[in-house]
Structure 1
Amino acid sequence: MPDIRTLDQLQDALDSEMGWRVKEIGAFRVASKGGSPEKKFFIRAGVTLVYAHWEGFIKASSEQYLNFVHHRGHTYRELKSCFAVFGLKGKLQMLSDSRKAGPNIKAFDFILSELGEPAHMQMSSAINTESNLTSKVFTNIATSLDIDIEQYSTKFNLIDESLVNRRNKVAHGEYMDLASKEFGELVDEVLQLMRDYKTDLLNAASTEGYKRVTPILN
């Protein structure tokens, strides 16, 4: 992934990530409106495709935002805890797993000594969709980036039942009868979720929502 150092670069990356996905989904939506019997095949395939783009966009856009935060050059201490965790996760894991005092003390001392150093995000495995981007997994990803999930909560049933569950049925070879109108509504809803997430990431970047709020001392 190319370095993303500026807000304009993040905007371009997210626009590009969204653009090709909208175009591909749109092609299946057009095909699903036809009058031929084959439209049912496009709808079944379309459900799988819409899910793939939902998962792919959330993962890619989250990584792009994390890439942006990484290249801002802030120290761990300057970042909110959820971002510092991406760089210190290995040592935090050691504190969680080890029952021996020696390794725990070394791990904790390391974390303390690193707080003033430039943050290095371990992006290769930072965003995990678990190949099943349910509302629960999405919430975990959004929370890890300090994105408020309140506005998405009304769509959790849509994500879990209308999208993920239907995709799983198609993937497992089960029969699913979905009308063209319903498929179109699903497309609209999922694309809006993706657009909302993109907007939230850009807003967080522009307002420096990744930075820790420093208390004002009197």
Structure 2
Amino acid sequence: MRTLAELQDSLDDDLAWRRSELHSYLSATRRAGSESPAQRALCRAGVPLLYAHWEGYAKHCLSLYLQYVGRRRLKYGELHPAFVALGHESSLDSQEGLSATRRIVRRAHALLSGDNVRASIPWRRGVDTQSNLNSSRCFDLFESLGLDASPLSTKARLIDYSLLRARNEIAHGQYLDIDSASYEELHLEVLAILDFVRNTVSAAAENGLYRRPSAV
């Protein structure tokens, strides 16, 4: 993931197959017959699928962006503070046996003297969604990469309840009655969220928002 074109192609390709699958599934729910038992079963089963694409695409996009920034091979003095923090914390994590005090001192030393050091961004492992991407974890991941997730604040309840909690309950065998109208609305909401994630990452890469403002 060395060029902006490669990043954007990967964002688009991954979103395309997800959109295709979700639209195909929605068509299947419509063909099942209005409010029939089969349709309700499909709508209920579709919620874990919608959640899977939400978590999967967010992880894909944010991991790609982390990789893209990490492979710029910039110095700490050129990077947004979020990536400075990521790099230094990763370096400290690799030093075994550090007491809390020694960790604080080494962190301070690195921050004060490291501007001309090439950053060590831990991009190979990607981001960790913890397999339960609630709104709080989403906002933390965005902030850790210097991205603005505030437009998603109005979607927090939808992410936490309509997607994550419903996914968990359905996956554990609980019955939730989800009609076709509710499912179609959730389908549209998820696609809008996926578009937001894609556009946020693409714009950040294109506009160099991973750089410290004075270094742009």
Measured after TM superposition, the shift of residue 52 of structure 1 is 0.6
Written as runs of structure 1 = structure 2, the 5 A alignment for 1:125-140 is 125-140=125-140
Q: Tell me whether 1:24 sits opposite 2:21 in the alignment.
A: yes
Alignment check: 8 A CA contact 2:90 2:121 kept: no
- Give the Cα–Cα distance (whole angstroms) in 1 for the partners of residues 26 and 177 of structure 2: 16
Tell me the percent identity: 35
Query: Which of 1 and 2 has higher RCO (CA within 8 Å, sep 6+)?
Result: 2
- Equivalent residue number for residue 204 of structure 1: 204
Aligned residues: 210
- Give the Cα–Cα distance (whole angstroms) in 2 for the partners of residues 26 and 105 of structure 1: 53
- Give the Cα–Cα distance (whole angstroms) in 1 for the partners of residues 135 and 208 of structure 2: 26
Alignment check: 8 A CA contact 2:146 2:210 kept: yes
Measured after TM superposition, the shift of residue 100 of structure 1 is 5.0
Counterpart secondary structure, 1:73: coil
Alignment check: 8 A CA contact 1:69 1:210 kept: yes
CA RMSD of aligned residues (A): 2.3
Alignment check: 8 A CA contact 1:86 1:126 kept: no
Alignment CA distance shift 1:105-1:164 (3 Å): closer
Measured after TM superposition, the shift of residue 38 of structure 1 is 2.0
Measured after TM superposition, the shift of residue 31 of structure 1 is 1.2
- Give the Cα–Cα distance (whole angstroms) in 2 for the partners of residues 183 and 173 of structure 1: 18
- Equivalent residue number for residue 63 of structure 2: 63
Q: Tell me whether 1:10 sits opposite 2:7 in the alignment.
A: yes
Alignment CA distance shift 1:162-1:106 (3 Å): closer
- Give the Cα–Cα distance (whole angstroms) in 2 for the partners of residues 72 and 108 of structure 1: 24
Greater CA drift, 39-48 or 60-69: 39-48
Measured after TM superposition, the shift of residue 70 of structure 1 is 1.4
- Give the Cα–Cα distance (whole angstroms) in 2 for the partners of residues 107 and 144 of structure 1: 17
Structure 1: unaligned runs, 5 residues or longer: none
Structure 2: unaligned runs, 5 residues or longer: none
TM-score (ref. length: structure 2): 0.87
TM-score (ref. length: structure 1): 0.87
- Give the Cα–Cα distance (whole angstroms) in 2 for the partners of residues 145 and 99 of structure 1: 25
Alignment CA distance shift 1:49-1:213 (3 Å): same
